[in-house]
Structure 1
């Protein structure tokens, strides 16, 4: 077991992206009360701390030329106020945007969170994360194909996603920045390893002084888990992106229709067919990426920070193909689910024809019923839990249990 950070520490998890951050944040959010009961404050009510983090960084959310939003500083101030008022032994803040920080932004985090700051970095092999990073770029509106994107990123050509990619994934630069800022003794690196999937959650439980299993979560569907897309599914999204850009859709409309409509429904309601390919590196790209991965691993070893996990996982070979083949056919069920997701989102019902999207005034009757007995934040969490278990065969039992809970609550309030 890893020794916990000292009492009074604020543990700042900065990512990197695509290193299990969703799993970790879901484990903290779902079990927020259990964490607090064991002396750990996971502030706020949201799934993660994206919005307050972006507010402190003054980082725009969305496309800078079409609809980007910069959150007000008050979001961060609210998080900080909760930390100051909390009597918990430790605090946990997590979002992968933080790894994009330049020197001034990193200094801002240290200044705000104080001297008892410990930085946690989650790393994955550089070669292993390339395909998922391209896919994430496509899910954010990128229109370039995989081969084109690899050429730009690995040869460091100027392009719309290259700068962002290295701000998030230059492992050596990120480790150097934070070790110089807070000292190597205050930085812990957790290496994500496919051969040991429990290592990530258990490492953070240890760092926070939690009992093993505290941050465990129940199975969730592909939408909540942010499952990766197959090569044909990504191609469908990419083709839609080209249409969206041609028609000059803004970021808000894109996220409503594509990210939280088309993509969400495909992730949740579809399972790739046996033999359906996933994006894989061509041999040339793997050679370049593994060479860079070895350089990053050597620099990590020389950094002096604490490392949890096997450094060899950072340079492990990856599966390759001779050449990237762009899909020319799309599975019919993927297209059908995608269209259904867009239609539902266009009506303000999320991806599943069953709820109003965040920020819309129109709500369904069951939302209003819940709000008669629960506060809005709890209502949102109950509904999200319901939707996140749509794939489970025992979902009906959960619905029945929820109905009984609401019925008891209504009767209790009526008696009062």
Structure 2
């Protein structure tokens, strides 16, 4: 479907609240303040409900639920998994049965939807679904996007990645999800086509107006401004950008992980929630430490693409909160990218400490996360209830530290510990393990199997 250019795009600075009964589906795109918004909504979940807004579930965001409805797999090819549809069903049930006036569902994976997946959301949530798409200047988000891929195990240097991304899109083989989540024209056009132009709002993430994003959501949800203000957070919770040297360190460790054939679960535990988390939280790059900056040639191409996106968004006729010209604001550039050859000692120290802590099953901070850090531990949230009970912490640590091991390896460990026969391991010890797990589940959930 094509859209004829309009003389005046529908640009607003403030809007009336959505009609009662509306579900606001926020689909990103990534790196547009989504984490800040989701942290605030989760932190203020109870207050939002008192003010008539349901932010369903108990998690920071709706990553797994949205992935489940999309049937989108998570992780690497050697260890992919797709969240169970029941995860989405619980969120949908809560939204449809809430007494709140409006609901908010948020995660940026939604922007990767195909037409068919987009229809699933509208069919599941009903005709009173309003889609919000947050956008940021294309040139401005390239460095942040590369970092996110690096924090997910990517191994290609920044300069090489830029050449691939800004080259012939038909030949693009690296990070194939990039344009699924960053083709701003295609994303907005898709949702206008599927949901209807009156049911789509674009919000511009503008550095010159830092409150514009949260103000827009507060207005749409009908709550007082300030409710969704940023929650105080350190570098990990705020997902601060890595310096060029920090990113280089992660990139090089990624190479070891991939060469050793390690799984996504281990990478997420040890790197994302261990090495990277501690480095982000406990370190502040020096003022003169190089950041990721676009080379001049890349900025020129990216800004031209940004203008194309801005024109296409205006042509759809959907409501825009903020100034579309912010999408084409010039960015700082360098003549060429200098790949770091040295890593600051304090970055290496924090990285190793985070890795050691995570390997021991204790998150990034040896079970003592700084105030305000959410999701610092690598074990399941329900196990936290066991920590203060008898040997609960020991059991939780054992589960966290060994869940990546297969039965053969566990059997080898058991043999080393003095359990020498296969029968001794495979029969009574497995039966005993089953009883222990069953007992723990009953203790944690209060339900019998």
Match 1:255 to one of 245, 268, 287: 268
Provide Cα deviations, 1:121-179, integer angstroms capped at 9, x if missing partner. 00000000000000100000000001110011111232230x20000000000000000
Contact 1:348 1:360 in 2 (8 A): no
Q: Where do 1:354-373 residues align within 5 Å? A: 354=367, 357-359=378-380, 367-368=388-389
How far off its partner does 1:368 sit? 4.3
Q: Indicate the SS of the match to 2:39.
A: helix
Answer with 1 or 2: which has the greater Rg. 2
* Equivalent residue number for residue 363 of structure 2: 350
Corresponding residue number in structure 1 for 2:84: 72
Q: Distance in 1 between matches of 2:385 and 2:59?
A: 21
Q: In the alignment, does 2:121 pair up with 1:100?
A: no
Partner of 2:208: 195
Paired position in structure 1 for 2:139: 127
Alignment of 1:37-186 (within 5 A): 37-63=50-76, 65-155=77-167, 156=169, 157-161=171-175, 163-186=176-199
CA shift, 1:83, in A, is: 1.0
Give unpaired runs (5+ residues) of structure 1: 372-416
Q: How big is the shift at 1:258?
A: 0.6
Contact 2:161 2:174 in 1 (8 A): no
Q: Distance in 1 between matches of 2:109 and 2:163?
A: 24
Contact 1:62 1:69 in 2 (8 A): yes
Which of 218, 222, 229 pairs up with 2:231? 218
Match for residue 280 of structure 1?
Answer: 293
Greater Cα offset, 36-45 or 211-220? 211-220
TM-score (norm 1): 0.86
Match among 31, 45, 48 for residue 35 of structure 1: 48
Contact 2:102–2:221 under 8 Å retained in 1? yes
Give the CA deviation at 1:354. 1.1
Q: What is the deviation of 1:357?
A: 2.1
* CA drift at 1:362: 7.0
CA distance in 2 between partners of 1:303 and 1:23 (Å): 28
Structure 2 distance, partners of 1:108, 1:332, is 49
Change (3 A) 1:116 1:276: same
Which residue does the alignment assign to 1:298?
311
- Secondary structure of 2:20's counterpart equals coil
Count matched residues: 368
Q: Relative to structure 1, is the Cα distance of residues 66 and 305 closer, same or farther in structure 2, using a 3 angstrom cutoff?
A: same
Match of 2:425 in 1: none
In the superposition, the TM-score normalised over structure 2's length comes to 0.80
What residue number does 1:399 align with? Answer: none
Whether the 8 Å CA contact 2:37–2:230 is kept in 1: the answer is: no
Q: Measure, in 2, the Cα distance between the counterparts of 1:109 and 1:22.
A: 21
CA RMSD of aligned residues (A): 1.6
| Kept in 1: contact 2:275–2:351 (CA 8 A) | yes
Q: Residues 282 and 324 of structure 1 are in contact (CA less than 8 Å); yes or no, is this contact kept in structure 2? A: yes
Structure 1 counterpart of 2:422: none
Q: Distance in 2 between matches of 1:83 and 1:354?
A: 34
1:184, distance to aligned residue in structure 2 (A) = 1.0
Which range moved further: 80-89 or 358-367? 358-367
